[in-house]
Structure 1
Amino acid sequence: MPFTLATWNINSVRLREALVRRLLEEAAPDILCLQECKAPVDLIPREGFDALGYRHMVARGQKGYNGVAILSKLPLEEAGSDDHAGLGHARHVAARLEDGTVIHNFYVPAGGDVPDREVNEKFGQKLDYLASMRDAFHADPPKRSILVGDLNIAPREDDVWSHKQLLKVVSHTPVEVAALGETQEAGGWVDVTRKDIPEGQLYSWWSYRAKDWSAADKGRRLDHVWATPDIANAAHSSRVLRDVRGWEKPSDHAPVMATFDL
């Protein structure tokens, strides 16, 4: 059965509940994976989502910080969560569909402002988190799985507005790109978005600091959809919903979508 999946860093699900409902109505993905929900699970505003047909949810939450959730029209069951690097953060949750497909929803640490773990603890946490993900995939290679989320790294030169100017900026430094590459390789993950859109500049995040984010267009592709090789060829129609970044009081991320014919 084909289904469409979206991933979106919402930057507070309670503050932007109306935007989530608008996306569910207008884009109508079968499954929506949210990051940075910034709410305990019991305070995620489910009633409005239920009313639109998204009656299934698995989530991990924290008050005002982190948090991941998977909303679905399709029946699913919780498939666990991992506290990578032992940070005690709500950054991962997994769900299993009735056909056995597992969906992993991740929110990788942003890493702070200075790309040096000796002076910036948050950067070290980011690298440790990615290493923990890598080791977990090595130990238990995923099958029939989809991984989505805000991975907080733009790996390719055309995933950022200026490769040269961002080489020393957190999210595009060589050490981060290498760490993400090792994590991807460990699970055999296929970058579905770039499989479908192999060429050209592609972004999913634009800073709040830009007065006119669209005209400046200094974006980065921080949000990803991956799949294991056994189902990657079933994915198609990848797209970034750039217009959503221009909605009133938006998240600084735009949703990324893909359809899977499974």
Structure 2
Amino acid sequence: MTDRLTIATWNINSVRLRLPIVERFLNTYQPDVLCLQETKCPDANFPFAALRKAGYQNIEISGQKGYHGVATLSKRPLTGTQRREFCEKGDCRHVGTDVPFAGRHLRIHNFYVPAGGDEPDPHVNEKFRHKLDFLTEMEDWLGATTFPCIVVGDLNIAPYEQDVWSTKQLSRVVSHTPLERERLEDVRKAGPFVDAMRRFVPMEEKLYTWWSYRAKDWEAANKGRRLDHIWVTPPLAPKVTDVQVIREARGWERPSDHAPVIATLES
């Protein structure tokens, strides 16, 4: 018997503020699982009722007021939930859950990696130092992965030249500096994990998931970056049959500056 699982990831930039477009996305695309980042919502105020009404009865969250926060919504049961604290900061940046797929359980790690501030120098910018420390801890932890696993989320780094509109102009901008790009690759290889998005979009082609609010016409300027990622452990890679960036959602009313990404797994 075959099974088909769709998993979406989306930095929503406040789940309560943008609840209407979350509902629109769920109603239109009907993913089995939606992983949200930057929910900016304490657990007590999370919009459980609205999202369960949309068909997502199983919800695991890790939230805090005004900052960070992750949530995983699912039509399928979620078990084995873990919430890891990184760098002893008390930030809510991870939730891991198991979802049934093809007769066994698949672990989904939902991450929101620190942005890192504006200055790409860990000696003068504590936020950038925190980002690097977070990646180091993430590498060590994910390097011990021994079971089918998928990592999704806003990892806040565009690792390859064609993941940004201009690698030359952005090489000194946080999210695309050589140090960050190298460190993210270290994390990915530690699993090891396969970059599922680049299995479907060749390295020589541009691939973006984020467009700044600062652009007067983000679509015409198209100065994007790929900050959102989907990685899978090697045995799962052949089961990923499609990955799509839902670019249209960036143009919806009161949008996030990120677009959702949907991966389809079949077995």
Would you call these one fold, judging by a TM-score over 0.5?
Answer: yes
Distance in structure 2 (CA, Å) of the matches to 1:143 and 1:166: 36
Distance in structure 1 (CA, Å) of the matches to 2:174 and 2:222: 18
Q: How does 1:221-236 map to 2 (within 5 A)?
A: 221-236=226-241
The residue that corresponds to 1:104 in the other structure is 109
Q: How does 1:1-262 map to 2 (within 5 A)?
A: 1-98=3-100, 99-138=104-143, 140-199=144-203, 200-262=205-267
Once superposed, what is the RMSD of the aligned Cα atoms?
0.9
* Cα 1:142–1:211 shift into 2, 3 Å: farther
Distance in structure 1 (CA, Å) of the matches to 2:50 and 2:142: 36
Question: How far apart are 1:79 and its partner, in Å?
Answer: 2.5
Distance in structure 1 (CA, Å) of the matches to 2:214 and 2:42: 28
| Secondary structure at the counterpart of residue 18 of structure 1 | helix
Residue identity opposite 2:225 in structure 1: R
The TM-score, its normalising length taken from structure 1, stands at 0.98
| Secondary structure at the counterpart of residue 134 of structure 1 | helix
Maintained 8 Å contact 1:107/1:151: yes
Question: How far apart are 1:142 and its partner, in Å?
Answer: 3.9
- The share of aligned pairs that are identical, in percent, is 53
Distance in structure 2 (CA, Å) of the matches to 1:89 and 1:142: 26
Distance in structure 1 (CA, Å) of the matches to 2:200 and 2:151: 16
Question: How far apart are 1:141 and its partner, in Å?
Answer: 2.2
User: Which whole-Å deviations, capped at 9, do the CAs of 1:50-91 have from their partners, x for residues lacking one?
Assistant: 112100011100011100000001111142121122221000
| Secondary structure at the counterpart of residue 136 of structure 1 | helix
Distance in structure 2 (CA, Å) of the matches to 1:233 and 1:73: 24
Distance in structure 2 (CA, Å) of the matches to 1:187 and 1:239: 23
- Structure 2 stretches of 5 or more lacking a match? none
- Structure 1 stretches of 5 or more lacking a match? none
